[in-house]
Amino acid sequence: MATRRLKITLQYDGEPYCGWQFQANGPSLQQTVEEALEKMMGSGKVRLFAAGRTDAGVHAAALPAHFDTEHSIPAERLPLAMAPFLPASISILSAEEVGPEFDARRSAVLRWYRYQIVQASRRRPLGPRAWQVHHPLDFGAMERGLELLLGHHDFNGFRSSECQSNRSELTMQGASMTRVGDLIALDFKCRSFLHHMIRFMAGTLVAMGRGKIDEERFLKIRDRGERPYLIDCAPPHGLCLMAVAYSEAERQRILEANPAPPSF
């Protein structure tokens, strides 16, 4: 049979994994899903290419990925057929056959990540996946910070020292906050992101909300890359890849999406 390209959409709890990409120090999501596909199909090596490489502990509500195969299974049957081969922390939500030009990473026109924070003075073991912040937050200051992230900027001040991207200029198409009680959701919508960029943006906004930095210092981080030591990289368990767009219609739907938290 001729080679086919299949697009799958994955949902997973990232806490048990060392991230999407293969790692020597623990199980990766890529390895887990590839091995499950190989067992189900019983034919050769499978190589998955995802729309994004989530870090250790980061979740995904809908992560697209693609792979090539000569197996004849109808795409619509793949999610159910794969269920017995995957751990409870991973699910294939949907599958479809796509053309050879489709690339889960390069074809994407918009990615949406959500970071959740819960403002509470005591630990909540049964609470939602969120960064628990024990201090009062000035939400007006955080809103101003989000407004300053919108548009085209050099986001060098919001990436990790390990980031290997050759360019840090990006256009942030959406940056907003939604609150329900003591639960806060920060939404970031951009075509691509830098390593740890969202977690550093979330940490910077929380620092602004706590009064640790002001708008002037925020602009120095954004425009000059001057990130002070008191900015935390927000923990990974509060971050989730929500959706990826491949068409203008999908891009518009994602830009308009603003569900009440919790979302994951």
Which residues are marked as active site? 55
28, 21 contact by CB (below 8 A): yes
* Contact partners, residue 162, CB within 8 Å, separation at least 6: 195, 196
158, 221 contact by CB (below 8 A): yes
91, 161 contact by CB (below 8 A): no
In a 10 Å sphere around its CB, with 0-12 CB exposed, 13-18 middle and 19+ buried, how is residue 260 labelled? exposed
By three-state DSSP, how is residue 126 classified?
Answer: coil
* Consecutive H or E run containing 248: helix 248-256
142, 203 contact by CB (below 8 A): no
Structure tokens at 158: 């919001």
In Å, how far are 37, 141, 202, 219 from 149, measured between CA atoms? Answer: 40, 13, 11, 9
